[in-house]
Structure 1
Amino acid sequence: MDSRAEAVYREMLEGTPGGVAELATRAGTTEPEVREALDRLVGLGLLTPSREAAGGLRAVSLEAGLEHLLRRQEEELAKRHHALVAGKAAAARAIAEYSALHPDADRQGNERLLGLDAIQARLEVLTRRLSEECLSIIPGRAQSAASLEASRSLDEQALNRKVRMRAVYQESSRNDPATFEYAQWTTERGGEVRTTPVLPGRLLVFDRTTALVPIDPDNSRLGALCTTSPGIVATIVALFEQTWEAAVPLGAVRSRDPEDGIDQTERELLKLLGSGMTDEAASKRLGVSARTVRRQMSALMERLQAASRFEAGLKAAQRGWL
């Protein structure tokens, strides 16, 4: 019941004679609004036909009116409860039917999610169920605008529930404004973010019971594997913790080792190229362009006073950089 209907009801309780015009004056409103309020009060059972005035209305006593309203609310709550129970039962049946018919799920708790839409749908469910912790490794220099937008509302809901969120980004993501801004946004709301030059494949772990990893690390659009297998999840969690320990907080600046004169990114670059990787392959692992790799390697060769990359590798090894 809104304030206008309440005012009309109070005036009717007073029992002062008069019609719609008088009610409008006393209630401080207009005649059309009074008529609307009267209809609403009749619908609520607070006004009934008068036994004295033909076609007139009388107000039900306040005690009887409140009792009537409470009874109506109880009936509505009962209906909602029955509807909720029926909805849960229907959802349970639908889930059971889906599990029985879905060809990509197996008895070991593994399911293939094919395509970005399927992944996003599962992420929405898993994020809403989060109660304690979410772990993620996010390789690549830049995240797409669509990916960031899809993640923001889900992450915000989890952070508002005080879920601990830990994420490791690639060091090169600091150079992408949108990705770096999102990482800062996460930390400002209580999340923890670290960065490291080289990362394993993308992964997500929910409450240490469910993990998502891409089917093809080189093409996340193909889909993901969702697993609740304890052995697989435990291995993925261990990989995350190892990566987390080697990373530095988002706000920290990596400095060169005062003894070695080399920072972690340069050390990783030397290792990658020393293992036989091409500039293009190394750039992909570091999340930078091949041009950046060549520029960084050129600077290292100059510092090492090496005429070739082979000589640079030998001198780096001699200095203990590798």
Structure 2
Amino acid sequence: MLQSLGVSLKAETVYRAALQHQHHGVSALATTTGLTETEVRTALDELAELALLKPSAQVDGKLRPVSPDVGLAKLLASAEAQVALQQAKMKEARAEIAAITAEHQRAWPFDGAIRLDGLDAIRSRLEELQRTAEFECLSLNPGGAHKPEARQTAGPLNEEALKRGVTIRAVCQDSFRNNSDTLAYARWLVELGSEMRSVPAVPIQMVIVDRRIALLPVQPDDPRAGALEVRSPAIVAALHALFEQVWENGLPFGQQVPRDETGCTPAERELLQGAAAGDTDETAARKLGVSLRTVRRMMSQLMERLDAASRFQAGVNAAKRGWL
């Protein structure tokens, strides 16, 4: 195939036929190649422009095919020159990127943190980190369903990172299993090779890349407000230890949420612990990443099982019965 040299498929077909039947005219070439006479004429014009056909020295107005080791070699040399020029440009661009990156990195304080204001800045930085990750991306994800636009942005980047051999581990809240779209996205990621686990309540939103950079929300109750990018080895190591502890206690994606000997799920146990500590329904809903209505339904069922007249009494009775 000569398309990489700028020769169309039809022109190549006519050229090959002309080499074998140098005395064929347009009509005969059409019969030989199975093309129409119009297509043959167009192909002959193309071949002439590429200098693969030249005027015959014997017959006026007739074109003869140029030998492949001359005509095609010339086209190949031209293509190779273009590739070499492009490679030189890519080399220059790579050096420029390295220089810009070095300048950018020098602007970072070694033990300090850089603030990323707003959701756009956070997503842009996450895209950069996912594209440059070398071996690992870890994340803690509080809340329930993931926003569709966030999944659309992260999906291709995660797929690209996984293909490069980057390990992706994510911890979500159990409540994400209640959203069909988020569940389908999680199933897709796991099938690609990432690992996911869930826990009743995720302590904080967090991303760690290659155990050297961590992103944390400026306001834990409003992740959209902004983030802090931390590079301090001591702080990143502590955050990594937190991730591993949460990961160790998580339920692998695909397994059913278990119930303990008391019949409680991890989310119900978390709710009871919060009730014993005086958490409101609103606080419990935020911690578990579920709706206020869901928390009240869960609490009503637990109060009935514990013969309790109030949320606080439910927590106390749970402690007395050894549920906590």
TM range (shorter): 0.7 to 0.9
Separation in 1, partners of 2:58, 2:176: 81
Cα deviation, 1:151-201, whole Å, max 9, x if unaligned, reads 222222223334322111111111122112222222222222111111111
Match of 1:183 in 2: 186
Separation in 2, partners of 1:109, 1:89: 28
Are the structure 2 counterparts of residues 112 and 12 from structure 1 closer, same or farther at C-alpha, using a change threshold of 3 Å?
Answer: same
Separation in 2, partners of 1:178, 1:18: 64
Separation in 1, partners of 2:28, 2:84: 40
Q: Which amino acid letter does the alignment assign opposite residue 266 of structure 1?
A: E
Residue 228 of structure 1 pairs with residue 239 of structure 2:
no
Of 137, 143, 149, which residue of structure 2 is paired with 1:146? 149
Question: Structure 2: which 5+ runs fail to align?
Answer: 1-6
State the superposition RMSD in angstroms. 2.5
Of 161, 174, 195, which residue of structure 1 is paired with 2:177? 174
Match of 2:282 in 1: 280
Separation in 2, partners of 1:54, 1:270: 99
Separation in 2, partners of 1:66, 1:51: 21
Residue 161 of structure 1 pairs with residue 164 of structure 2:
yes
Are the structure 2 counterparts of residues 226 and 144 from structure 1 closer, same or farther at C-alpha, using a change threshold of 3 Å?
Answer: same
Alignment of 1:183-262 (within 5 A): 183-258=186-261, 260-262=262-264
Separation in 1, partners of 2:29, 2:259: 83
Secondary structure of the corresponding residue to residue 200 of structure 1: coil
Contact 1:141 1:288 in 2 (8 A): yes
Are the structure 2 counterparts of residues 310 and 76 from structure 1 closer, same or farther at C-alpha, using a change threshold of 3 Å?
Answer: closer
Separation in 2, partners of 1:63, 1:223: 63
Question: Structure 1: which 5+ runs fail to align?
Answer: none
Contact 1:215 1:223 in 2 (8 A): yes
Contact 1:45 1:68 in 2 (8 A): no
Q: Which amino acid letter does the alignment assign opposite residue 14 of structure 2?
A: V
TM-score, length basis structure 1: 0.88
Contact 2:137 2:166 in 1 (8 A): yes
Alignment of 1:1-322 (within 5 A): 1-14=7-20, 16-95=22-101, 105-108=108-111, 110-258=113-261, 260-322=262-324
TM-score, length basis structure 2: 0.87
Secondary structure of the corresponding residue to residue 306 of structure 1: coil
Contact 1:208 1:234 in 2 (8 A): yes
Choose 112-121 or 86-95, whichever is displaced more.
Answer: 86-95
Name the count of aligned residue pairs: 318
Secondary structure of the corresponding residue to residue 73 of structure 2: helix
Cα deviation, 1:231-262, whole Å, max 9, x if unaligned, reads 2222221111111111111222233322x443
Are the structure 2 counterparts of residues 109 and 87 from structure 1 closer, same or farther at C-alpha, using a change threshold of 3 Å?
Answer: farther
